[in-house]
Amino acid sequence: MKLNIEELHKVAHLARLSIHSKDEESYSQALSNILDLVDEMQSIDTQGVQPMTHPMDAMQRLRKDEVTETDQRDYLQQLAPATENGLYLVPRIVD
């Protein structure tokens, strides 16, 4: 699918990109190649192909969910400029 310069400008506008006139032809060709690849991939019969979550058949190694640090909440709140009822108070930035 050959992408003309007018279509390239429409795509660039939608993507909020500016394209210099000297680069228009190369961008048009690159996007046309991508669209051709997508068309080629859509023409492949995938009936009966099982979807995969990952190409490698590996299990995620998980660590045990256990506490590794001591509770330092009271100490850290003493260092804060302002706290109230266990919460940090910050300046209001939205009216």
Residue at 37 is within a domain: yes
Residue at 58 is within a domain: no
Residue 36, token pair as written in the block: 């051709």
Give the other-Cβ count within 10 Å of 8's Cβ: 21
Residue at 77 is within a domain: no
Q: How many domains does the chain have?
A: 1
Percent of the chain at pLDDT > 70 equals 100
What's the confidence (pLDDT) of residue 95?
75
In terms of Cβ atoms closer than 10 Å to its own Cβ (0-12, 13-18, 19+), residue 17 is: exposed
Q: What's the number of CA atoms in the CB half-sphere (13 Å) around residue 77?
A: 11
Confidence band for 94, pLDDT divided at 50, 70 and 90: confident
Range of the domain at 33: 5-42
Residue at 35 is within a domain: yes
What's the confidence (pLDDT) of residue 41?
92
- Helix or strand or coil: residue 87? strand
Residue at 79 is within a domain: no
24-67 pLDDT, tens digit per residue, is 999 999 999 999 999 999 999 999 988 887 778 777 788 899 99
- Whole-model pTM: value is 0.51
